Structure 1
Amino acid sequence: MLSSLLSLLFAVPLLAFPLVPRQLSTRQYIIYNKCPSAVNLYIAGNFEGSLPSQGNTTRFLSLGAGFFYTDANGGNANGEGTSRAGFFPDDFYYTVVDPQRINVGIQVAPRGRPSWLGFCPVISCGEAGCPSAFPQPPTRFPAVAETAPTPPYYRCPILNTTYDITFCPDGSFPIQGSTLHPNGNANKCLDVRGANYANGTPVQIYDCNQTPAQRWILNRGSTKVQLAETNFCLDAGSTPGNGVGLKIWQCYDNLPAQQWYYTDDNRIALEGQGLCTDLTDGILTNGNQVQTWQCTDGNTNQIWTL
């Protein structure tokens, strides 16, 4: 009799509080590379190895795993100026893409989850400044609510969701790079003479013509100035000085002749040399080779705008 009564008493809470699925402390992330070549994978700033073209890899990480990105096609190992997929506790996910340039297209998809009322959409960005991405990492997140957050915040509040992260979802690297204009003159561009991509080709001023010879990759602060989709960089030579013409040369890491600093006031200065990229004599005539010259405040020949 007593055992029957105890069984009945202990059965009540079990019936009143049925078992429910529990959110795991880790989640599955599957990273795909659809780019035309192998890419380096970084997660939360750490190098995770090379991912072959058409390959994928799986990670089980925390709900706020940090950024997933690659330094391929002009990206950076530190993530700056690089397409990134981000995750945050409370089921938030998002992308960050520089408004001026994009190294790879990126897509984030909650696997097997239907999109409803703004929740759980697939987000994809294949161009600089796309509206579905943040221009820089967000510093705060909205409160969790019964309605979907305003993009570019996204949520998928379904327990234990797997996320598919894809680099180059369209199968190709985006055409990228920025044009550099002397002192804001939108009609003139920094240009590789004759589009001759070879060591020693002069860098000049020329009418803007939307060709690859005028597309450059650079970042604010310490940077190379790389010709997009090539392995050539703006190079000051082994003996830079006033009046020395600039050229392109094969890019090398830690080469002083290729180590520049793009300042907040739009000067491209050779690091530690006191020399700036300079429009020779201020002449805007096509074919005028640019040079290095002592950096001087207020010298408009040394202003280069994106």
Structure 2
Amino acid sequence: MLTTTLLVLALAATGLSQAPEGYRAVYITSAQDTKFVVVPKSRTAGATLVVQSTTSTPEQSWYIKAPNNATSIQLASTTLCMDAGPKSGWKDMANIYLRECVAGSEQQTWNAMADGRIALAASSGTQQCVDLQYLRATQNNPVGLYNCAGLGNTGAADKGINWPLKNATVL
């Protein structure tokens, strides 16, 4: 009985480590300093996103379709996705959270652009992108939302809103 239980748990864990169909595993690196990647403060629903030093471990990887419009960004080996929270909070310096993935949810639908910006797909008016708050690539610095036009309307040249995706291998 114990052997059967362990086998079922091992198979379940293996299934979680596979990227969903059409997605790839990536590290979301900071253009401000590529030694830092986007991660949640903790691997639990409700955690905010921060940057931490790259360790190239599976815990730092995400599943994403990129470059692509209308993609969810799922923390690897979990059922948790990047979430911008309620639409009323979509503004500069707003936090980004980790929440249970909900297919088609507008606060979890992102546009991963070929130029490195990751925009909240449903943001209207001022389009909001994933942002390195205060342009500080330091351990546990918050990641939030900021105008996709960037500082001085420089767009992707603003390193705070530019997130090169690096392929990751999830074991």
Q: SS state of the match for residue 277, structure 1?
A: strand
Higher helix proportion, which one? Answer: 2
Q: SS state of the match for residue 253, structure 1?
A: coil
Q: SS state of the match for residue 142, structure 2?
A: coil
Alignment partners' CA distance in 2, 1:186 and 1:276: 18
Alignment partners' CA distance in 2, 1:197 and 1:301: 24
Match of 2:130 among 263, 277, 297: 277
Once the two structures are TM-superposed, the CA of residue 255 in structure 1 deviates from its matched residue by 0.9
Match of 1:302 among 158, 161, 164: 161
Alignment partners' CA distance in 1, 2:34 and 2:147: 25
* Contact preservation (8 Å) 2:74, 2:81: yes
Alignment partners' CA distance in 2, 1:253 and 1:303: 25
Please list every run of 5 or more consecutive structure 1 residues that lacks an aligned counterpart in the other structure: 1-34, 38-52, 54-71, 82-100, 102-176
Alignment partners' CA distance in 2, 1:207 and 1:261: 25
Alignment partners' CA distance in 2, 1:254 and 1:73: 21
Tell me the residue number matched to 1:118.
none
Alignment partners' CA distance in 2, 1:292 and 1:184: 16
- Deviation string 1:64-114 (CA, Å, 9 cap, x unpaired) is xxxxxxxx93323xxx34xxxxxxxxxxxxxxxxxxx4xxxxxxxxxxxxx
Match of 1:75 among 20, 23, 46: 20
What is the TM-score of this pair, normalised by structure 1? 0.43
Which amino acid is the alignment partner of residue 207 of structure 1? S
Alignment partners' CA distance in 2, 1:293 and 1:178: 22
Once the two structures are TM-superposed, the CA of residue 211 in structure 1 deviates from its matched residue by 3.2
Once the two structures are TM-superposed, the CA of residue 184 in structure 1 deviates from its matched residue by 6.9
What is the TM-score of this pair, normalised by structure 2? 0.75
* Contact preservation (8 Å) 2:30, 2:160: yes
Match status 1:205 vs 2:150: no
RMSD value over aligned CA atoms? 2.0
Q: SS state of the match for residue 145, structure 2?
A: strand
Q: SS state of the match for residue 92, structure 2?
A: coil
Q: Which has the larger radius of gyration?
A: 1
Which amino acid is the alignment partner of residue 188 of structure 1? F
Q: SS state of the match for residue 44, structure 2?
A: coil
Please list every run of 5 or more consecutive structure 2 residues that lacks an aligned counterpart in the other structure: 1-9, 150-154, 166-171
CA separation of 1:198/1:288 partners in 2, compared to 1, >3 Å: closer, same or farther?
A: same
Tell me the residue number matched to 1:50.
none
What percent of counterpart residues are identical?
23
Q: How many residues align?
A: 140
Which portions of structure 1, spanning 4 or more consecutive aligned residues, are displaced by more than 6 angstroms? none
Once the two structures are TM-superposed, the CA of residue 300 in structure 1 deviates from its matched residue by 1.7
Match status 1:258 vs 2:129: no
* Contact preservation (8 Å) 1:242, 1:293: yes
